[in-house]
Structure 1
Amino acid sequence: MDENAGSTGEEQMSGLYMNHIYKSFGTINVLNGVSLHVQPGEVHALLGMNGAGKSTLMKILAGDLSPDQGTITIDGKEQQFSSPADAKKAGIGLVVQEVDTALFPALTVYENIAADEIAKTKQKPLLSWKQQKERAAELLRRVGLSISPAKLIRECSLHEKQLIVLAKVLSSSARYIILDEPTAALSETETKRLFTIINELKAQGVSFIYISHKLKEIKEICDRVTILRDGNVVHHGDVASLSLEEMIRYMVGRSYTTAQRETRTYGDDRLFEVKQLHIAKTNTTVDLYVHKGEIVGIAGLVGAGKTELAESLIASSKTTGEWWIDGKRYAFASPKEAIAAGICLIPEERRKQGLFLQEPVRTNLTVRLLSSLTKWLWVRQKKETSVAKQLVDSLQIHPPFLSTSVRQLSGGNQQKVVIGKWLKTDARIFIFDEPTKGIDINAKQEVFSIIRSLADEGKAILYLTSEFQELLDIADTIYIMVDGKLIKRVPAHDITYEQLIYYCSGGEMDGTASRFGRQEKASAISS
């Protein structure tokens, strides 16, 4: 096994070389001499857990960051990038995960593809739009997309947008293309179509650096792999020679152990249940249940369909099925009906969906209580202030000033406000979608404390996240989600961190648990 992707004294000719890259932010070392070699016409996987250094390494390659030490060589020529434009000139392309951020929705496909060239054309204000359309049409054919170049971006599907971004990257003659979680929001059919296009481009000499948490896809599409852990290269070699379990061991570390915790007790009665809930966005159907006082986790990778499930549970997106609360059947047509029945959602995008950013803490905390705080359509401010103060004190929101704009709070305190607005309502089913996203470790523990308190009060908790260690720390039961489907329900104390990664990555649930050194747990995983 070669644990260093760079060359050692031999002449570097064809290919992309990142040699001994170091990068620190303050006192934190993010990259410790990382080397990466990508050959012409290959798909090279870059793997690692969150915080391993993948994003920083790719930002350096894309010209967004400069390394503290190290060199980048392309086809024998050393490069120095002071901007993304420099990287593009050298043949580096980037297809970001959030493709909408790379496109102008109000412009046409061909205008988006030509945008970079238009920005550079200071000397030639008059461009041949006919030529631009023809060029765009050829690039679209090259990526297998048969749509009109005159179609508006806002009318395109997510899959079409992704291929348009790829076409845009190819328009700059990119030979080394970074794909960041390219299938996160794609269906299985769209994923296979993308793989076909990648293989066609690969045959033309284009290389790809493929970043994904879906390890089954890595085995299918990638030739070689570099695995990072804590800013270091821990493995480099052929993908074919590695099993999924070995990839996970390199990513996590062989010495990794999952702390066991005491089993919580909760009621036997099912407080919340859904049957044949059809999720339109993922075209899947799920069944799940939560006992009174139980914390149930939904474990899934980015793009597995967790947010789509959360939105469907509270009927904020088109769905059909049955909801059961305390044995009573419901059929919700809107979030208003679901909320009235006792369901609430703490959304992943709290700043967009959970808060009135310009309003003070007081208003955000009491917005769900207006009917009890008003008289003759006037808010009773004294009562509103009293209720808000109680919540600020109990949640330990800092700074504890009711008139402070919620925009000025830290991410952790904003999240407390989003949760807090439901605490004095009749909500009994709490759905948390990535509740610790963007908050520090202390705030995470405070959020965990709030969730445990709610469960101790007999509430039903659903906790959806791709942070698997969090589920092992807090959940009583875990559902495993893959491609929008809930494929298994297991007690949290009967599954390990490594197993969660394996199964959520598409590993078969066939008793493989024993391969991770816990033979006694295989019976809990088997069907």
Structure 2
Amino acid sequence: MPLLDVRNISHAFGSTQALSDAHLSIEAGEVVALMGANGAGKSTLVRILSGLCRPDGGTMTWQGKPFSPQSAADAASEGIVTVHQSTNVIGIPGLTVADALLLNHFVDGRQPFFLSKKSVRRRAAAILSETGFELPLDRDFETLSAADRQQVAIARALTNKARLIILDEPTASLSARESARLYDLVRGLKARQIGVLYISHRTADLEALADRVEILRGGRNVGSFRRPIDFSAAIETMIGRFLNAARPHRRRDFDKTVLSLESVGLMPDSAPFSLAVDEGEVVAITGVIGAGKSRLLSTLFGLGSFYRGQASLDGQAYAPTSPAQAIAAGVVMAAEDRHKSSFIHADWPGESIAATISLPHLSKWYPSAFLFSNREKEEGRKAIQRLSIKAQSAEASVWSLSGGNQQKVVIGRWEAEPSRLLLLDEPFQGVDVGARQDIIAAIRNHSGRATLIATSDPEEAYEVADRVVVMDGHTLIEQNIDADISNRHKEPA
């Protein structure tokens, strides 16, 4: 008998059919991966299982009994707990790890009214002992790494006697080393006969953990793969086309240098390095989180300065002191957190696709400060067509789009005007495989600029780049890794 059995589940948001006769089953001690492009119905299914929304039709059974949770607390009381991608909501800055582990107990009254720090710490230590985790109980939760926050969330779930844990993109912000730690945690859950529903766009995660992969497309089940999993076939099933049809050929004939770094230093004590990126070339920098990739890109965008060495752009000295100076020189950037760096707040005017694309170009497009023309709407329409953005119109809010389509809007912003150097920091974070292929095609089908990408995922680096370089300790340690090398699944040293 399955732990969870979901049959013929349907759900619509207005005229949009999010799920149509979807099904899912999970056994105790089984890791089931749920794959699907953004908008395939994964989040809706998870919301239904978590009690955050109710299905329009279909049936669910949990441990052989009818299951219809009315809230997240209701689902948790039955033994189904969801660990969301954002771990910031697990604890509160200023509280300790011990406090974060016991937050649920404080809310539901399982702890006595009067508590001492000693008693909280003692109970938190007991939780860690029960789960087998090791965490610094007295540290401020805010200072924890993303991997440690995942441990807090999973430990809390286990204290609730969870029988099924839903992990939503758990490695999205983890380094390779932290991801390996998470894999060990998931294997530990499996050994305890706890079911795991694992949602991820990263095939490395699924290859390491999944017993079975279920694929959604357009709200429907379109495929199921058991170990050993043919991931090429699974991805092609997910996106509905052959991978090779979307993968552009790599170029090798570069003859004009756009960016040149000569013996630059990112930190006072870091080793100097040099790097050249040519016109038409896509160079990916990979390495663990904290290696210096983001610092390099932000420095090139005028948000810092090199401690030594010299940078040049098209043969001219280049040392911007602000993003405005960088943009004026033809250097543009899509930062790691697109929600904070690229979008207007959802409740403010200017959060449409067209306005988002036009924002850094307003002074150029409307020098008189009056928006008389339809330039921004036209550029929005062009971006929707060119990048296959799934949106009703250029006036649609960027906040209504999936993660992949939001990233396409950010790319479209910097394609609306000519540039010489495009900087992309973790451009595929939260982006499904189908949208990633569209973004890669857009990046590579632009020969009039150089592109420098920072990614913590070597697989992504090899997929998009003409050349891959490796950064560690705020310096480059490998400069000439060919993007077509056959041993592409290994993490760089």
Partner of 2:235: 248
Partner of 1:454: 417
Superposition deviation, residue 131 in structure 1: 4.2
Partner of 1:405: none
Three-state SS of the structure 2 residue aligned to 1:72 is strand
Q: Which amino acid aligns with 1:41?
A: G
Is the Cα contact below 8 Å between 1:21 and 1:71 reproduced in 2?
Answer: yes
Three-state SS of the structure 1 residue aligned to 2:155 is helix
Equivalent residue for 1:395, pick from 376, 390, 400: 376
Three-state SS of the structure 1 residue aligned to 2:44 is helix
Partner of 2:383: none
Superposition deviation, residue 87 in structure 1: 0.5
- How do residues 304-343 of structure 1 correspond to structure 2 at under 5 angstroms? 310-311=297-298, 313-314=300-301, 316=303, 323-328=311-316, 330=318, 343=331
Equivalent residue for 1:475, pick from 436, 444, 457: 444
Q: Matched residues in 2 for 1:226 and 1:162: separation?
A: 24
Equivalent residue for 1:270, pick from 238, 257, 268: 257
Partner of 2:212: 224
Q: Matched residues in 1 for 2:395 and 2:284: separation?
A: 24
Equivalent residue for 2:105, pick from 106, 112, 117: 117
| Structure-2 change in CA distance of 1:171 and 1:310 (3 Å) | farther
Q: Once the two structures are superposed, what CA deviation does each residue of 1:108-135 show, in whole Å capped at 9, x if it has no partner?
A: 2222222222112299533565443223
Q: Which amino acid aligns with 1:269?
A: K
Q: Which amino acid aligns with 1:103?
A: G
Partner of 2:471: none
Q: Matched residues in 2 for 1:228 and 1:331: separation?
A: 48
Q: Which amino acid aligns with 1:66?
A: R
Q: Matched residues in 2 for 1:369 and 1:253: separation?
A: 38
Is the Cα contact below 8 Å between 1:304 and 1:481 reproduced in 2?
Answer: no
Q: What TM-score comes out, normalization by structure 1 length?
A: 0.66
Structure 2: gaps spanning 5 or more residues: 380-391, 429-435, 467-482, 489-493
Q: Matched residues in 2 for 1:114 and 1:359: separation?
A: 37
Superposition deviation, residue 474 in structure 1: 5.8
Q: Once the two structures are superposed, what CA deviation does each residue of 1:267-302 show, in whole Å capped at 9, x if it has no partner?
A: 95322345788889xx999956252xx5959799xx
Q: Once the two structures are superposed, what CA deviation does each residue of 1:466-505 show, in whole Å capped at 9, x if it has no partner?
A: 33213324632688875255447657xxxxxxxxxxxxxx
| Structure-2 change in CA distance of 1:386 and 1:324 (3 Å) | closer
Partner of 1:23: 11
Three-state SS of the structure 2 residue aligned to 1:160 is helix
| Structure-2 change in CA distance of 1:243 and 1:147 (3 Å) | same
Is the Cα contact below 8 Å between 1:33 and 1:232 reproduced in 2?
Answer: yes
**Quick check: 1:104 aligned with 2:92?**
yes
Is the Cα contact below 8 Å between 2:97 and 2:135 reproduced in 1?
Answer: no
Partner of 1:375: none
Partner of 1:173: 161
Three-state SS of the structure 2 residue aligned to 1:24 is strand
Q: Once the two structures are superposed, what CA deviation does each residue of 1:160-216 show, in whole Å capped at 9, x if it has no partner?
A: 212111112222111110111111222222222222222222212222111111112
Is the Cα contact below 8 Å between 2:90 and 2:152 reproduced in 1?
Answer: no
Q: Matched residues in 1 for 2:249 and 2:170: separation?
A: 39
Partner of 1:3: none
Q: Once the two structures are superposed, what CA deviation does each residue of 1:426-453 show, in whole Å capped at 9, x if it has no partner?
A: xxxxxxxx995178xxxx5x974x6445
- How do residues 26-425 of structure 1 correspond to structure 2 at under 5 angstroms? 26-121=14-109, 125-127=113-115, 130-141=118-129, 145-240=133-228, 242-254=229-241, 258=245, 268-274=255-261, 289-291=277-279, 294=280, 310-311=297-298, 313-314=300-301, 316=303, 323-328=311-316, 330=318, 343-347=331-335, 349=337, 352-354=340-342, 386-389=367-370, 393-396=374-377
Partner of 1:523: none
Q: Matched residues in 2 for 1:317 and 1:91: separation?
A: 48
Partner of 1:407: none
Q: Matched residues in 2 for 1:65 and 1:299: separation?
A: 41
Q: Matched residues in 2 for 1:257 and 1:50: separation?
A: 20
Is the Cα contact below 8 Å between 1:44 and 1:208 reproduced in 2?
Answer: yes
Three-state SS of the structure 2 residue aligned to 1:217 is helix
Three-state SS of the structure 2 residue aligned to 1:471 is helix
Q: Matched residues in 2 for 1:20 and 1:219: separation?
A: 28
Superposition deviation, residue 71 in structure 1: 2.0
Q: Matched residues in 1 for 2:246 and 2:361: separation?
A: 38
Q: Once the two structures are superposed, what CA deviation does each residue of 1:11-30 show, in whole Å capped at 9, x if it has no partner?
A: xx351112221111222222
Identity over aligned residues, as a percent?
Answer: 28
Q: Which amino acid aligns with 1:200?
A: G
Structure of higher CA gyration radius: 1
Q: Matched residues in 2 for 1:192 and 1:272: separation?
A: 35
Is the Cα contact below 8 Å between 1:304 and 1:482 reproduced in 2?
Answer: no
Is the Cα contact below 8 Å between 2:440 and 2:464 reproduced in 1?
Answer: no
Q: Matched residues in 2 for 1:87 and 1:252: separation?
A: 31
| Structure-2 change in CA distance of 1:30 and 1:307 (3 Å) | farther
Q: Once the two structures are superposed, what CA deviation does each residue of 1:301-339 show, in whole Å capped at 9, x if it has no partner?
A: xx9998676435426479778633112455678768856
| Structure-2 change in CA distance of 1:28 and 1:359 (3 Å) | closer
Superposition deviation, residue 138 in structure 1: 3.0
| Structure-2 change in CA distance of 1:106 and 1:262 (3 Å) | closer
| Structure-2 change in CA distance of 1:447 and 1:390 (3 Å) | farther
Superposition deviation, residue 224 in structure 1: 1.8
Three-state SS of the structure 2 residue aligned to 1:437 is helix
C-alpha RMSD over aligned residues: 4.9
Q: What TM-score comes out, normalization by structure 2 length?
A: 0.70
Bigger drift between 317-326 and 35-44 goes to 317-326
Q: Matched residues in 1 for 2:225 and 2:218: separation?
A: 19
Structure 1: gaps spanning 5 or more residues: 1-12, 371-382, 399-409, 417-433, 492-507, 514-527
Superposition deviation, residue 384 in structure 1: 12
